[in-house]
Structure 1
Amino acid sequence: MLVLSRKKGESIIIQDNIEITILSVDGDTVKVGISAPKHVDIFREEVYLSIKEANKESAATAPDNLNALMDRLRSQK
C-alpha cells in the first residue's frame, strides 16, 4: 500500500485520468473528491463489499434456477 500525506486542496493523480482531491478535514473525517472517467466505477468500501456479496449469492443460486428451468422445460415435452 502506498501511503501519502496531503493537505486540503492537494491532489493525487492515478494514471492519467483519475484525480483524488482532499476537499476538507474535520477531526477524523476527510472529505475527498474524485474525478474519473464515467466508465470507472467508484464505490465506498462497504458498498463495494455488499455488491460483491450480492453477486456471489446470485451466482450461487443460478445453477439451482437453471436446473429448475430445465426440469420445467423437460416436463413440457
Structure 2
Amino acid sequence: MLTDSPYGGEYDDCEVEAGISLGISYSLSHHLNLMLRYLHIGYSESLRAHGNACWGDHKFILDANISRLQIGVQYIF
C-alpha cells in the first residue's frame, strides 16, 4: 500500500533493515553483565529511520538516533 511520505512523494509501508549495532559489555561478576548498544550501520528502506542524527542516502545509513540506544542486563545461569 502506498502512503504519503513526510519527505514528499509516496512510499511503500514495507520497512526493511539489515546491519550491525556497535556496543560494549561490562562484566560485573561471572554471571552478570551490563550491555550497551548504540550506533547502527547498515542498509535501510525505512523512512522512519531517516530522521534526526541519520547520515546517508535512503539505502546505506549511519544512524546515531537516540531510538537506537539499547541498555541491557544479562544473567548467565
The TM tier, using the shorter chain, reads under 0.3
Higher relative contact order, structure no. (Cα contacts within 8 Å, ≥ 6 residues apart) = 2
* TM-score relative to the length of structure 2: 0.25
Higher strand share: 2
Q: TM-score, length-normalised on structure 1?
A: 0.25
Larger gyration radius, structure 1 or structure 2? 1
